[in-house]
Amino acid sequence: MATQSPSASIAGPRDRESFFDAQRRNRHATWRLSAVSVVATLVMGIPLALTVTPLLYVAGLIVAEIVNIWMPLPASFWQHSGELASYGLRAFQWMTGGKMPNPQALVEGIAVLLLPGSILSIGLWISINSLFRRAGVGGALLALKAREPSASELKELQLSDVLQEMAIAAGLPAPKIMLIDAPAANAAAIGHSPNDARIVITRGMLDRLTRDELEGALAHLVASIGNGDFRIAFRVASVFETYGLLLALINSPFGPRSRRTLWRVVRYGLSFKKGAGDPSEAAAVADLLSRGAGLETDDIDNFFDTTAKKKSVLRSIRNFLLFPIFFTNVAIKLTLWFFSFSMLGPSVALLWRKRVYLADAAAVQLTRNPDGLAEALRKLNSQRAPVPGGAWASHLFLVNPAGSDRMNDPKEEAAHRQQLAAIWAASQPSANVAAPAPNPQSTPFITQEILATSRAAMAGNQDALARMTAFRQAAATALGKSPDELPSLEDIAAAQRGDKTAIQHLAQFGRKVNASETGSTGSNSTSTSQSTSSSFAGFHPSLKRRLKRLDRMGAHVELVTSDRKTWIVVTALSVVLGPFALVAAALLLVLIAIMMMASLAFLAIWMAVIHQVFVILLHH
C-alpha cells in the first residue's frame, strides 16, 4: 500500500483523493494566500503610514523646540526641516491631483511621507513578536486556566497515550497536554515551535469522544504543529496586534487605558530577559491577548464626549488643542476597519482555512482513519460551547467555539473570583491556620482547586467531601441563601460530563459567584463583541466543507447535498447588491482620503502654531 507512488490516487468506488495529494494542494494554496495577505498588509500599511507620519513629525518638532530653548539648534537644522516639509508637500500635492514634480523629488517626497510611519510600524511589529516569543505560551495557558492531566485516571491516561501515539506517527516530540475543566468540548494547539507546543483540551471533550475520535482530533492538532501553523498564527496575530498598538499609540494622549496597554508592551517587549518564567509577565500578556487586537476606542470616545457634564474652560482649551489628533484617529480607524474588512481579514481567514484543511489531510495520513476525525468534528460541532478564557485564541481551536467571542467584563470576573477565593479560604477546616489573603494572581488556581476537590469528593474521598460541604455552607452564608439553592456536587459533576440541565443550573449560580468556570456556557454566551471576534470567526471552515474533504479521502459521512436554490439566491443577491457595495467602498475610500487630508491640514497648522508659540517664547 505504501509502496505505490504518492501521487497515484487510490482506486475506489468514488473519485478518491489521497491524503498526500490533499496536503500538497493545500500547501500550494497556502503559498498563494500568504502572498496575497502580505500584499494586503502592505496596502493597508501605506495609508496608515501616511497618517501616522505627520503625527511623528509633530512629536519631533515639539522635542526639537524644547531642546532649542536650552540649547539653540543650528540654523541648518531648521533649514533642513523646512526642506523636508516642502518635499512632503510637493508629493502630497501631486497625489491630490496637482502637477507632476520631477521623479527624484517625487521619490524623496514619498520617502519623507512614508518612512517614519513605516519604521514605527515595523518597530512595533518586532517588539510584539518578541513579546509573543517569550511570554506567549505561559500567558495563553494562564488565560485558559489549564492543568496537567493525571496519570492515575483511565481517561486522562488514555489521553496522554493517544497524544504520544500521534506524536510518534508524526515523528515529532510529544507536545505537553493541558486540561481545562470545562463542560465545553474543544481542543487547541498552542505554542510557537514544535518543541514547546502544548495541546489544550477540555475535560468535556475527553468525556465525550471515543478513542478513535480522540485519535483523529489529536492527530489534527499534532499535524498542525508539525506543519508549522504556529508561525503563521503568530504572524497573523502580530500583524493585528501591531495595528491595534498603533491605534493605542495615537490614543495615548487621551486616556489611561491606551497608555497602560502601550506601557506594558514597551516594558515586556523591550526587556531582554531570557525565558518566560515570570508569571506576572505571562498574566499581563494573557490580559493583553484576551482583550483582542487592542482596537479599543473607549479612551478617545470618552475624551471627546461632548455630552459630558464636566465642562470647563480648561477642558475646552485642551480639546481644542488636541483636536487635529481626532481626525488622525478617525482616519486610522476608518483605514483599519475598511482594509481589514475588505482585504486583510478575508485573505488571512482563507489562508487559515487552508491550514485547517491541510491539518485535516495530515491527520488522515497519521491515523489512516478519516472516520475518526470526521466523527470527532461532527460531535464537537454539535456541542459547540465557549471555552472559558479561550476567546482570543478561538482560531486555534479544533472547531469554532461559538459565542465565546469575548470574556466577561474582566473587572467583574476578577471580583467574582476574588469573592470565590475568599469563601474558599474561609471554609478551610483548620481555622487556626490564618487564611492567606487571596490575591488576584492565585484565583485561577483556586477555582481549579475547587473543581479538583469536587471531583475527588465524587470519587469518594471523605476529606474532599467534607471540604465541599463546608464550602457550600460558607458560600450560602456569604450570598445570603440557603445551601439547597446552591448547586450540589452531583450538579458540578454532571455539568463536567456535559449535562445540559446541570449546566443551566450552574449557570444561574455562576452569575452570582463563579462566572468563569463551569457556568460560562449558559450565562455569558450572549456577550458578543465587534472587532476581533468577527474577524476571527471566519477563520474556521464550515463543518460541511471539512466533512466533504474528509469524505473525499475515504470517510463514511452522510453529506447533506447542497441546495441549488440557495446558490441562485446568493448569485442574484450579489448581482443586485454588488454595485451598491462597490459604490459604498468607493465612498468610504473617499471619506478616508478626506479624513487623511483633514488630519494632515490640521496637523500642518498645528505645527506652524507650535513653532510660532516657541519662537515667541524664545524671544521674550
583 CB burial (10 A radius; 0-12, 13-18, 19+): exposed
Stretch that binds another protein, among 161-169, 252-260, 313-321, 449-457 (CB under 8 A): 161-169
Q: What is the DSSP letter of 8?
A: S
Task: Give 152-185 as a DSSP string.
Answer: SSHHHHHHHHHHHHHHHHHTSPPPEEEEE--SS-
Q: Which stretch binds another protein (CB under 8 A): 69-77, 160-168, 277-285, 606-614?
A: 160-168
Q: Does 433 bind another protein (CB under 8 A)?
A: no
Gyration radius from the chain CA atoms = 28
The 167-196 site mask, x for binding another protein (CB under 8 A), equals -xxxx-------------------------
CA quadruple 574, 577, 579, 583: dihedral positive or negative?
negative
| Distances from the Cα of 94 to the Cα of 240, 589, 605, angstroms | 31, 18, 20
152 vs 482, which CB is nearer to another protein?
152
Task: Considering the complex, state which of residue 166 and residue 289 has its C-beta at the smaller distance from another protein.
Answer: 166
DSSP secondary structure code for residue 409 in this structure:
-
| Closest distance to another protein from the beta carbon of 27 (Å) | 15
CA dihedral for 244, 246, 250, 254, sign (positive or negative): positive
In the set 76, 102, 104, 152, which binds another protein (CB under 8 A)?
152
| Residue 157 binding another protein, by CB under 8 A | yes
Least distance in Å: CB of 358 to another protein?
17
Geometric angle at alpha carbon 412, from 405 and 535, rounded to 5°: 15
Complex with another protein: residue 226 or 388, whichever CB lies closer: 226
Per-residue binding string, another protein, 110-149, x by CB under 8 A, is: ----------------------------------------
d(CA 115, CA 182): 48
Based on the shown chain and the rule CB under 8 A, indicate whether residue 3 belongs to the binding site for another protein.
yes
164 near another protein (CB under 8 A): yes
Nearer to another protein, 166 or 399 (CB): 166
227 vs 400, beta carbon nearer another protein: 227
Binding mask 351-390 for another protein (x = CB under 8 A): --------------xx-x----------------------
Residue 212 as a binder of another protein (CB under 8 A): the answer is no
* Site membership for another protein, residue 6 (CB under 8 A): yes
Total residues in contact with another protein, by rule CB under 8 A = 20
| Interatomic CA distance for residues 502 and 517, integer angstroms | 14
- Residue pointed to by grid coordinates 514634480: 101
Tell me how crowded residue 86 is: count the other CB atoms within 10 A of its CB: 13
Q: Compute the least distance from the CB of residue 338 to another protein, in Å.
A: 45
Alpha helices, DSSP H, located in 255-344: 256-270, 279-290, 298-303, 313-321, 323-339
- How far apart are alpha carbons 343 and 376 in whole angstroms? 33
Position 437, amino acid = A
Q: Is 158 in the site for another protein (CB under 8 A)?
A: yes
Q: What residues make contact with another protein under the rule CB under 8 A?
A: 2-3, 5-6, 152, 154, 157-158, 161-162, 164-166, 168-171, 365-366, 368
